[in-house]
Chains A and B, each alone.
Chain A
Amino acid sequence: MARTPHPKKDIEMALRYAEWQGWRVEVGGSHAWGKIYCPYNSEVCRCGEFCITSVWSTPKNPLQHARALCRVVDNCTLNQLRGGKVPQPRRES
């Protein structure tokens, strides 16, 4: 069953990326639009707090929020161990 898409395009793209990496997306909340769940949330996973990350309905900066969500997926320890993308140092202008 297809889930409800996020109204902000950038965030919807980040959610699809998370799903593609095996994360589960759950819709629900008011200020919160929903949550993403790490597929490896297990005893050996060291990601900790961000194994469950909230997604805002109307974040202050949707693009920034989308980037932050992708960062959580890329930072996942087990994802990296199984050969996932390793995040590069952040470059700001």
Chain B
Amino acid sequence: MEYLFTLNYLLPAHDCDPDVLVERLGAGGCTDALVGTGLAGRLALEFSREAESGEAALLSALSDIKRIIPDARLVEASPDFVGLSEIADIVGVSRQNMRKLMLNHAGSFPLAIHEGSASLWHLAEVLSWLEARGGYALQHPVIEVARVAQSVNVAKEARRVGTPSAELVALLG
């Protein structure tokens, strides 16, 4: 199966020449990725990776980058953080339609990660909810890869704050 996902990296100051990095990525077997170097100090890779599973696809890509650009820091794995318009695009319905669905099922719709002028959800949670509800022809590779992207992003975030205390976990409900 082919999995489509994007990895965004922050490049170290001592290793951020885009032309040099692109050649190393090519030599390292990453020609299944579209490489974007439009922002100085950043690197974006849109992989179309053939693998046994979404997890295998994402982990092999992360491991390739670790090997090729050891000091690059992962900013985000996508598709994971999405707003309402992006969800609607992926599901193939209008934004208004998606918004109505969310408001009509406020009790069961996945909780947003952040609510504000631009609210964000984890794509995997929204797609799983839609799948459980039925009636939507969803693309399986998307759900699978979104689940793995979420694990990657959450693990990366969790590492920044350390293990939460038992007291905090109990309070979160």
Contact = CB atoms under 8 A, between A and B. Distances in A.
B26 interface: yes
Interface in B15-49: 18-19, 22-23, 25-27, 31-32, 34-39, 42-44, 46, 48
Given A49-B38, A52-B18, A60 B141 contact: no
B26 A32 contact: yes
Interface residues of A, number: 31
A66 to B, nearest CB: 10
A52 B37 contact: yes
Contact of A49 (B19, B25, B42): B42
Interface residues of B, number: 30
A63 B163 CA distance: 45
Contacts, number: 87
B31 A49 contact: no
Contacts of B4: 90
Contacts of A58: 31
Contact of B34 (A31, A53, A89, A92): A53
Interface centre among A51, A65, A69, A89 (most CB of B within 10 A): A89
Interface in A26-72: 28-32, 35, 38, 41, 47-54, 56-61, 64-65, 68-69, 72
Nearest to B9: A49
Contacts of B34: 50, 53-54, 65, 68-69, 72
B104 interface: no
Given A29-B22, A49-B42, A54 B35 contact: yes
Nearest to B93: A89
B19 A50 contact: no
A49 B32 contact: no
A31 B2 CA distance: 22
Given A31-B27, A38-B38, A69-B34, A50 B44 contact: yes
